[in-house]
Chains A and B, each alone.
Chain A
Amino acid sequence: MFESMLVFGLVNSATLLLLSLGFSITFGLSGVANFAHGGIYLLSGYLAFFLIRTIGLPYFIAVILTIIITAFLGAAIYKLVVIRVRGIVLNEVIATFAIGICILELFRWLGYVTYEYSLPYIVRGRFTVLGTTLDYQRLLIVVVALLLAVFVWYFTHRTKTGMALLGMAQDEYTALAVGVDSDWAATYSFAIGGAFAAVAAVMILPLGIININLGYEVLLIALAVTVLGGLESTKGLILGCFILGYAQVFTSTFFAPHWKEAVYLLAILIVLAVKPSGLLGKFKELEERV
């Protein structure tokens, strides 16, 4: 019982991390909250499905193609739409929200909701750890989530491009003064956000069928995790994922599974009441919470 909670909590936390990383990267680097994140996530799932099942490409080529196309899509969303409303936070929210709604409801209308729409497992089979049976796909989720988190840290702290983006996020005018192009950085961050959403979709969607409402849920997860962990730190993000992941497993074990969603809101409320800047956040409460 305890061991299985431990294992599934880890898997759940890694899932949350994968889902929210793309949103958090875009938000952290460009300051734009990409409300289309859930839509992009589902779109990349359907894209992978289309490439694998309809066109019949080999699995890995299809996945890489999905990630690249989604990255370009993310960049296109910035270049075509967001760039025109950038700086007006509320319009950014409404514009990206509208894009997300369009994608999700279009797929709902097309009727892509039945059981045939599911992605294949990357690796089959299962193994036993701590007395709990776990399939390799879930193990892979944990590994990929950790790899991505490490990659994000490495990218933003050790590579030139990453440091330019980080500089943009920390102080736009100073970064401009040393020759970083603001629009270039934001396009980059949207592309990375899109690519991460695609990775998450390819990893996580095989576990179930592709469901439209997942798109809305992904947004809530991303919000809960960023509020919980504190906006500006990757460490906070990971911590937030672990807290939420374990809290969810705990609730569905001891209460009923449908209270799982209540955990997000409850977590947000408690953190806001106790430490409004987030667990590892440093900013003041009112000013920075835009």
Chain B
Amino acid sequence: MKAGYRKERIDRGIKARTDDIFAIASYREILYLAGPRIFAVLALLIFPLLANITGMYWQTVAFIACIIALLSLSWNLMFSVGLVSLGQAFFFGIGAYFTGYLDRFLGLSPLYSIPLATIAGAVLCTMIIFPVLRLRGIYFALITFALPLFLMRIIEATGMLGGTEGISGLQRLPGITFSLYVTVIAVLAVTFIFLRLFDTDYGLVLRAIHDNDMSVLAGGLSVQWYKTQAVFIAALPATFAGALMTLHYRIVGMPTFAVENSILPLTAAVLGGPGSFAGGVLGAFILVPVSEMLRAFGTLRIVMYGIMLLIFVVGLPEGIFRYAQRKYFQIERIVPLEEEKK
């Protein structure tokens, strides 16, 4: 940019007109506001029906993208209360092992084992994390990073829950279209619920903990108790993703706790913009297809996630979603500085 000039951002005219709900006067304005959302929802709902056109491969990729999207939603909720997690695989793995256990040893049908594993898994995760909720920032991050590795080690060493071989031969789900629809609806529902949750007074408290937990403490609210609730809510989509993934592949093993399951949702969330729920989902749907194309490179993919994380954290910390949102609502122009005008 030339010296003496600055970049100015102002709202587009249509944005200014449609900001107030009463001003919506034409289809064009309604479309401007609702269009992107309707497009995203419709795309997600129609994609599973196109199995004949896209082929099974891309249906499976979409399924994995939805799973990662659920994990990144979970990461984002924890981020929104100031808890940075480096181990989303912990929630995922607990949900997965719960389902495997309920299915294999108690013989429950998926109709019962998935909801039961989701809720029981979330309760268990919350109980495990509860003692370290006093920690913030890096300490909490390191603990969450350690937990899945630790559980992996325990399962490997003691040989419980199938040990290194895992639990296999679980009951069959009706098929990829069914699994995909369940995850798509889950992603949409969780995104909607989380967005709404953060508009309520309850969400206001959660956001305040992220911004300044001392002020929440001063307001006479228990930070620890709210964080506990937030962890429980955040654990739900992650354990659900684990449960569904387990039943879809009909096997659960130690790889559910692998570093990749932690770093993929993290990268997706950072890519889309930390703290923005829709951004995390968008990030997952960009990242997972790219990562599947790179599957031939083996573990080099994890290096690429790392590089991607680095680029986005340093170069575009707001994330693609907020960037796109800004471009959609505002125009940018170069204007002279105030002094030059005189």
Whether B302 pairs with A81 at a CB distance below 8 angstroms is no
In the complex, whether B277 has a CB less than 8 A from a CB of chain A is no
Whether B141 pairs with A93 at a CB distance below 8 angstroms is yes
Whether B307 pairs with A227 at a CB distance below 8 angstroms is no
A275 to chain B, nearest CB (A): 12
For B270, the closest partner residue in chain A by CB is A94
Which residues of chain B have C-beta atoms less than 8 A from A285's C-beta? 134
- Please provide the chain B residues from 300 to 323 with a CB less than 8 Å away from any CB of chain A in the complex: 300, 302-303, 305-307, 309-310, 313-314, 317
In the complex, whether B335 has a CB less than 8 A from a CB of chain A is no
Query: B310 is contacted by which of A98, A258, A287, A289 (Cβ under 8 Å)?
Result: A98
Whether B86 pairs with A97 at a CB distance below 8 angstroms is yes
Whether A94 pairs with B84 at a CB distance below 8 angstroms is yes
B193 to chain A, nearest CB (A): 24
Query: A268 is contacted by which of B132, B266, B270 (Cβ under 8 Å)?
Result: B132
In the complex, whether A253 has a CB less than 8 A from a CB of chain B is no
Whether B145 pairs with A105 at a CB distance below 8 angstroms is no
Which residues of chain B have C-beta atoms less than 8 A from A102's C-beta? 303, 306-307, 310
Whether B213 pairs with A286 at a CB distance below 8 angstroms is yes
Interface residues of chain A, those whose CB is within 8 Å of chain B, are 33, 35, 81, 84-85, 88-91, 93-95, 97-99, 101-102, 105-106, 108-109, 216, 219-220, 223, 227, 256, 258-259, 261-262, 264-265, 268-269, 272-273, 276, 285-287, 289-290
* Chain B interface residue number, banded: 35 or more
For A101, the closest partner residue in chain B by CB is B306
Interface residues of chain B, those whose CB is within 8 Å of chain A, are 79, 84, 86, 131-132, 134-139, 141-143, 145-147, 149-150, 153-154, 156-158, 213-214, 217, 223, 259, 263, 266, 270, 274, 297-300, 302-303, 305-307, 309-310, 313-314, 317
Cα A227 to Cα B140 in complex, Å, equals 11
Query: A94 is contacted by which of B131, B150, B154, B309 (Cβ under 8 Å)?
Result: B309
Cα A91 to Cα B310 in complex, Å, equals 9
Which residues of chain A have C-beta atoms less than 8 A from B154's C-beta? 258, 262
Interface of B is mostly: helix
Whether A95 pairs with B135 at a CB distance below 8 angstroms is no
A105-B306, A261-B153 known; A94 vs B266 contact (CB < 8 Å)? yes
Cα A102 to Cα B313 in complex, Å, equals 15
Q: What would 25 A/B residue contacts be, using CB atoms closer than 8 Å? A: A84-B314, A85-B317, A89-B138, A90-B137, A91-B314, A94-B309, A94-B313, A95-B309, A98-B309, A101-B303, A101-B309, A102-B307, A106-B300, A216-B149, A220-B142, A220-B145, A223-B139, A258-B156, A259-B157, A262-B154, A264-B146, A265-B150, A269-B132, A285-B134, A290-B136
Query: A262 is contacted by which of B150, B156, B214, B306 (Cβ under 8 Å)?
Result: B150
Whether A81 pairs with B310 at a CB distance below 8 angstroms is yes
Whether B303 pairs with A85 at a CB distance below 8 angstroms is no
Whether A101 pairs with B305 at a CB distance below 8 angstroms is yes
Which residues of chain A have C-beta atoms less than 8 A from B139's C-beta? 223, 227, 289
A90-B84, A94-B266, A219-B142 known; A108 vs B313 contact (CB < 8 Å)? no
Which residues of chain B have C-beta atoms less than 8 A from A101's C-beta? 259, 263, 302-303, 305-306, 309
Interface of A is mostly: helix
Cα A209 to Cα B147 in complex, Å, equals 25
Whether A99 pairs with B142 at a CB distance below 8 angstroms is no
Whether B302 pairs with A289 at a CB distance below 8 angstroms is no
Whether B310 pairs with A95 at a CB distance below 8 angstroms is yes
Which of B79, B223, B266, B302 gathers most chain A CB within 10 Å?
Answer: B302
Cα A108 to Cα B298 in complex, Å, equals 10
B134 to chain A, nearest CB (A): 6
Cα A286 to Cα B222 in complex, Å, equals 12
Which residues of chain A have C-beta atoms less than 8 A from B135's C-beta? 272, 289
Cα A287 to Cα B147 in complex, Å, equals 24
Which residues of chain B have C-beta atoms less than 8 A from A35's C-beta? 138, 141-142
Whether A272 pairs with B131 at a CB distance below 8 angstroms is yes
A177 to chain B, nearest CB (A): 26
Cα A272 to Cα B297 in complex, Å, equals 42
Which of A93, A108, A220, A285 gathers most chain B CB within 10 Å?
Answer: A93
